[in-house]
Amino acid sequence: MKIEEMKNILKKDIDKERYKHTIRVAETAIELAKHYKVDTEKAYIAALLHDSAKYKGKDTLLKKAQEFGIILDTVMKNNPHLIHPFLGAKLAEVKYNILDEDILNAIKYHTTGRKNMSILEKIIFIADYIEPGRNFPGLEKIRDTSFKDIDLSIILAMDNTLKYIINKGWLIHPNTIETRNSLIFKRNKII
């Protein structure tokens, strides 16, 4: 499927503000992909589809996940915001005919991260976090760091997110903890 076709479908499936966010993420992903010498088309497609399943309402997300046979862990069941990346990866495969595992994983893990992320996964994760429409304390440092040390930028982003989640009293997904720890282990060469 061509990118323009994907965009046309997306425009119908997600709301206008989500679509604008998606385009900003895609543009940011291209910049990062160029910087880190990653295939820009793959980065663009992954970014374009990263929020393709950002449906409103817990019931809709749970129903769609069930339809696609996505097994939800306890944290995801209690925080429906974490369902859309897994559902989005499945939609990318079924609806948009994306078969590239790296693109599918970049979509699937753009919210929680995971241990041993590929560079494309890291790009989509951080592009979603730093896209130009976002603005909150500490973001400029993370944006700047993302072009110098993508791993450190993800650690900083996760630190910010974890503080937010803890302040809200929400559950923390184990992937997020594992991602952060694995990046710190890697940076500090801990075995």
Per-residue confidence of the chain (191 residues) as pLDDT tens digits?
A: 899 999 999 999 999 999 999 999 999 999 999 999 999 999 999 999 999 999 878 888 889 999 999 999 999 998 888 999 999 999 999 999 999 999 999 999 999 999 999 999 999 999 999 999 999 989 999 999 999 999 999 999 999 999 999 999 999 999 999 999 999 999 887 65
> What is the rounded CA–CA span in Å between residue 118 and residue 174?
18
> What is the rounded CA–CA span in Å between residue 190 and residue 23?
38
Instruction: Single out the residue of 109, 136, 141 nearest to residue 124, CA to CA.
Output: 109
Helices and strands (H and E) in the chain: how many: 11, 0
> What is the rounded CA–CA span in Å between residue 46 and residue 171?
26
Q: What homologous superfamily is domain 3-188 in, according to CATH? A: Hypothetical protein af1432 (1.10.3210.10)
Residue 178 CB coordination number (10 Å) = 15
Tokens 């440092």: give the residue. Answer: 141
- Delimit the domains of the chain by residue range: 3-188
